[in-house]
Amino acid sequence: MDRRTELHRRERRRYVIGYGGSLLLTLAVFSIAYIYGIQRPGVFFSIGLLGLVQLVVQLVYFLHIDRRRSSREDLDLILFSTLVLLIIIGGTVWILGNLAMRMHMHAM
């Protein structure tokens, strides 16, 4: 019973840490946008970076994906899907961006 309560507390803390972390990152993103203005160079880059960090925080603390052997199959699946995504998104943006450039449309 005692061990269970302890485990419960530990898992709940995990969720709260994930929530707190995500909250801080969200606040950071919006305050950066608010203070510096969204069109300053470098601002979108930092927002994107913070978004990426938040994705990882939520994957680890909410979805419990880590490098432990036991959740490897999930991690493999996520990594493979990410690869597919990068190919799809990267490929689309590259090809259509190139097309836009050659057609002298607005610069991408």
**Positions that interact with another protein (CB under 8 A):** 4, 7-8, 11-12, 14-16, 18-19, 22-23, 26, 29-30, 33-34, 38-39, 43-44, 47-48, 51, 54-55, 58-59, 62-64, 66, 68-71, 73-74, 77-78, 80-81, 84-85, 88-89, 92-93, 96-97, 100, 105-108
Task: Give the Cα separation of 24 and 18 in Å (integer).
Answer: 10
CB of residue 102 vs another protein: minimum separation in angstroms? Answer: 14
Task: Give the Cα separation of 78 and 55 in Å (integer).
Answer: 12
Sequence letter at residue 72: R
CB of residue 29 vs another protein: minimum separation in angstroms? Answer: 7
The tokens describing 100, both together, are: 């836009």
Contact present, 40 and 47 (Cβ < 8 Å): no
